[in-house]
Structure 1
Amino acid sequence: MIHLKKVVLIMVIFLQSVAVFAKDYKASMFNIKSDGSTMNTRSIQFGIDYISKNGGGRLVFYVGRYLTGSIHLKSNVTLQLEEGAVLLGSTNPFDYDRIGNTALIHARNVDSVGITGKGMIDGQGRALANNSIQYVHTGMIEDGLKYDRTRESIRPMIIYFHTVTNITIKDIILKNSACWMQTYDRCKNMVIDGITVDNVAFWNSDGIDIVDCDNVVITNNNIDAADDGICLKSHDEKFYCNNILIENNIVRTSANGIKLGTAGKGGFRNIKIINNTVYNTYRSAIALQSVDGGFLEDILVDGLKSTNTGNVIFLRLGERVVGKKSSMQRISIKNVIADVPFGKADAGYDYEGPIEDMPRNVSPIVIAGLPGQYIKDVTFSNFEVTYPGGGNKMFAYVALDKLDSIPELPANYPEFSMFKEIPAWGIYVRHAKDINFSNIKLKVEKKDYRLPIVMDDVHGAQLKKVTFDQVGQTKLLYDYKSTGITVN
């Protein structure tokens, strides 16, 4: 197995060599207008095709606003947006091509492409999404308008790449998609570095989506999204996400900060999540989920600062397809500093997470497998977690002698709030084996009726140097139907 750091070095050297030999072509050479009103779709596409046929290079946009519909990147072509250049997405849904998904910038079955520079791509997503709704009402678009919005396949994202090798997305500002900002599906050898994502214009607006990709580096990015920030998915049981580094990113969302497993038919392996910051995030800072029959294994989270986030760590096994058993094992999470708010962490943002899903008494760390289907070999170390406390017995109180009343919900969409009330204010573990906690500091600011840690059907767990600060409570742990639990 090639070490991930070596993969990163090889990719950086390759991308630098491409940049050295690339030829630049000014957008004006192809009669591409920067007035913000001329529709440039055909001119931009002609430029891309020309550059690709003539050995490759960069199509360079200088200061101005360049209006366009869907364009398709070809091999050896990079879009270079200089500072002050804005690639502006059309607000007309009929200006976008749908090839698998609808997007402003497509690439499929090509090699060595990029989007770089200090400029901006603005999808004008709110106007675009609202226009798609209007076209449904007039009969021009057919859609059921679930939740009074068109489905995701109708609302264009800004970037959709499928089966592309050698990708560079660097320094660019991506803003206002009508849906997910960018999706990379079955791609290989990719760097996303130093970009800014501002994707709060409409619903279902993820920051970065990685689907069944191999050798990916996601570093030094600043992401603000109304839906998941950095989201890894697996849509096909024949493929999986592999060798992915997520490092030194700043993420804010009204869903999850960094998430694996919205879909998990294949799986996730060799994922490193290093030195990231998550803040003002409604759901989980880190969510690791295997719920569609795939695997999730060999995951490292090292260095996380989670501030004002509804849940810190959520690990979940599920069974959304009957008979498809999922697995989760070999996970290490360490060096975490976190605080959890009493109310909604994303209150005041345009598109908040749904308040009806929010439990009244949350727990910062939740590990939830299924009966006979255990989450295995998980290590937590060097944690400092502060929780506001103030848990109220009157809200769906779960007594320690009624733990069986907590629903399993194997087929439900996975979120930390799915169980509503749970019986621990610090750590709740259910259906797990070989779980180890060391050097954990838990603090609750107000009196809470619950214990710091509850374990249900846990076999083989070690708690070493686990301390807590809770008014009126001296007991650390309650275990139920569990074996082999030691506290040192």
Structure 2
Amino acid sequence: MLLLLLFINVITAKAQPVTYNISQYGAVADGKTDNTKAIQKAIDIAAGSGGGTVLVPTGKFVTGVIYLKSNIDLHFENGGTLLASINRIDYGPQKASALIVANNAQHVSITGAGTIDGRGDALLKDIYRMLKAGILKDEEWQTYNPWHQMRPAESNRPHLIDFTDCKGVVVKNVTIKDGLCWIQEYRNCSDMMFDSIKVHSNTFWNNDGIDLVDCKNVKVSNSIFNVADDGVCLKSSNPNSYCDNIEIYNCRIRSSASAFKMGTASWGGFRNIKVHDIEVYDTFRSAIAIETVDGGLIEDIDIRNVNAKNTGNAIFIRLGQRNKNADPGILRRVYIGNVKAEVPAGKPDAGYPMAGPELKFKHHVFPSGIDGIKGYSVQDVTLENIDIAYGGTAEAANYDNFDMSKLDSIPEVVSNYPEFSMFGELPAWGFFVRHAEGITFKNVNLSYQKNDLRVACVFDDVKKLNIDGLNIAKTQISPTIVIRNSTTMAINNIKVAGKTNGDILIK
């Protein structure tokens, strides 16, 4: 028995990963010394020995670009911090590299209760210095944009983490903060787990909390995102690939764009996406945005248990055609359930740095929407147990006292960037649904705090509309619900201001 225990202990000891403390390779925790070579040396030696833990001990270590490799765990002690270089040239002479890079790596991780600090404000000053001196090429610099800013192009602003073609990725417990562009991008990666991470970055525009691009088999859980752009964003930039089997749950998200979004890029598509138990707050755009506009496929989406307080829009589902060289994509089989949202009259992210841009026209509060295009319908969407409370106010009057003929004047904007405000002022305050098929409402509750002289819901060119439980708390005008050029499967259990099955106009 004693020999057996000794043998087990020997095997266990051999199985323990070797730790490579960056301080032992010359890294200095003074917040000033450039430790890029020392950190990279620790990574390279660990990788050359078959892998191990590269340790960032307690202290502040300045670094430029570092490259992780297979079987490496970049692990932070409590209080260990990587400070990104604030010299733009350290990220490359033109297109900026990310701070932490991994390409074609397997079993690579970033873990521990430490911090990756992009120091965006200080780095931005150096970028401006180089731009003014003509050292950096930048086509967007000093060009007009909606924010009236001289904004450097994304290519000149470093991400903090970029992984490409990696498998077996773990990011756990770390805090990632103050970047100048997408905080972390994972492109064509698979078998990934993100758990208990904190992302805080309101430093500049394009600060997405996490971007998963054509990734497969991913879990994002127990995490916090407080960012100036989309919180959790799924993208597909490869027409021959797609995001597949992704689950996002138990997360808290604040964004000056959208909280959960898929489809900013939508070339290949998205399949088997699950989102549940999400808290959204102070978010400028949509709590939930599902979009395909570049020809990609979206199918089998399951979203439930979302609580959104102070968000500019609750739900936006869009099929468009931005890519003129491809047919419109397909958007089908979406389930959204157990959503509670509060949409204020004012700006939800007022007071946050890099808040979302004000629209250039007066408008009512925008409704939730399901929007396809003529001949290409959004298909098979079920909304169940939805409760949306609007704090609306009548800042515009284009659709007060509903006129059916005005529906034809609502622009299609087929090729526009997808956004819930893309159609301008809309005739409904609760839901606007157009060019859709197989739409089911089950126990949907809509209310508003201030008077709104628009109808509650418009269904235009909707085939197989099924309503089984739609409660409109109050109304100022008649009709309350308008159904035009549509076919209905069943219309049951509609209550308007407490009265059952009333005030519906069908044309």
Shared fold, TM over 0.5: yes
Q: Aligned equivalents of 1:132 and 1:374: distance in 2?
A: 45
Q: Does 1:158 align with 2:153?
A: no
Deviation at residue 475 of structure 1 after TM alignment = 4.2
Q: Aligned equivalents of 1:23 and 1:84: distance in 2?
A: 21
Paired residue for 1:236, among 235, 238, 242? 238
Amino acid at match of 1:103: A
- Mark the CA change 1:357 to 1:326 in structure 2 (over 3 Å): closer, same or farther: farther
Q: Aligned equivalents of 1:165 and 1:182: distance in 2?
A: 16
1:13 corresponds to which residue? Answer: none
Deviation at residue 137 of structure 1 after TM alignment = 1.0
Deviation at residue 365 of structure 1 after TM alignment = 1.4
Over 4 Å off, 4+ runs: 97-101, 395-398
Deviation at residue 474 of structure 1 after TM alignment = 6.2
1:131 corresponds to which residue? Answer: 126
Q: How does 1:211-360 map to 2 (within 5 A)?
A: 211-324=213-326, 325-356=328-359, 360=363
Q: Is the CA contact 1:86–1:120 (under 8 Å) kept in the aligned structure 2?
A: yes
Q: Is the CA contact 2:96–2:157 (under 8 Å) kept in the aligned structure 1?
A: no
SS of aligned partner of 1:228: coil
1:477 corresponds to which residue? Answer: 481
Output one character per residue of 1:404-426: Cα deviation in whole Å (capped at 9) or x when no partner: 11111111111111111111111
2:371 corresponds to which residue? Answer: 368
Q: Is the CA contact 1:267–1:294 (under 8 Å) kept in the aligned structure 2?
A: yes
Q: Number of matched residues?
A: 471
Q: Aligned equivalents of 2:470 and 2:102: distance in 1?
A: 50
Q: Aligned equivalents of 1:296 and 1:248: distance in 2?
A: 23
Amino acid at match of 2:485: K
SS of aligned partner of 2:388: strand
Deviation at residue 130 of structure 1 after TM alignment = 2.9
SS of aligned partner of 1:479: strand
5+ unaligned residues in a row in structure 2: which ranges?
Answer: 1-11, 493-507
Deviation at residue 485 of structure 1 after TM alignment = 5.2
Deviation at residue 214 of structure 1 after TM alignment = 0.6
Q: Is the CA contact 2:99–2:159 (under 8 Å) kept in the aligned structure 1?
A: yes
5+ unaligned residues in a row in structure 1: which ranges?
Answer: 1-16
SS of aligned partner of 1:419: coil
Q: Is the CA contact 1:129–1:150 (under 8 Å) kept in the aligned structure 2?
A: no
Q: Aligned equivalents of 1:391 and 1:20: distance in 2?
A: 67
Q: Aligned equivalents of 2:273 and 2:91: distance in 1?
A: 34
Q: Is the CA contact 1:233–1:260 (under 8 Å) kept in the aligned structure 2?
A: yes
SS of aligned partner of 1:335: strand
Deviation at residue 203 of structure 1 after TM alignment = 1.1
1:447 corresponds to which residue? Answer: 451
1:205 corresponds to which residue? Answer: 207
Q: Aligned equivalents of 1:321 and 1:440: distance in 2?
A: 34
TM-score, normalised to structure 1's length? 0.93
- Mark the CA change 1:273 to 1:220 in structure 2 (over 3 Å): closer, same or farther: same
- Mark the CA change 1:483 to 1:232 in structure 2 (over 3 Å): closer, same or farther: same
1:421 corresponds to which residue? Answer: 425
Q: Does 1:430 align with 2:434?
A: yes
1:117 corresponds to which residue? Answer: 112
Output one character per residue of 1:305-364: Cα deviation in whole Å (capped at 9) or x when no partner: 010000000000111111422110000000011110001100011111110267621334
- Mark the CA change 1:429 to 1:121 in structure 2 (over 3 Å): closer, same or farther: same
Q: Give RMSD over aligned pairs.
A: 1.8
SS of aligned partner of 2:179: coil
Deviation at residue 149 of structure 1 after TM alignment = 1.5
Q: Is the CA contact 2:399–2:454 (under 8 Å) kept in the aligned structure 1?
A: no
Q: Is the CA contact 1:439–1:466 (under 8 Å) kept in the aligned structure 2?
A: yes
Q: Does 1:106 align with 2:101?
A: yes
1:402 corresponds to which residue? Answer: 406
Amino acid at match of 1:426: G
SS of aligned partner of 1:252: strand
SS of aligned partner of 2:299: strand
- Mark the CA change 1:75 to 1:86 in structure 2 (over 3 Å): closer, same or farther: same
Paired residue for 2:62, among 53, 64, 67? 67
1:391 corresponds to which residue? Answer: 394
Output one character per residue of 1:173-194: Cα deviation in whole Å (capped at 9) or x when no partner: 0000111100000001101110
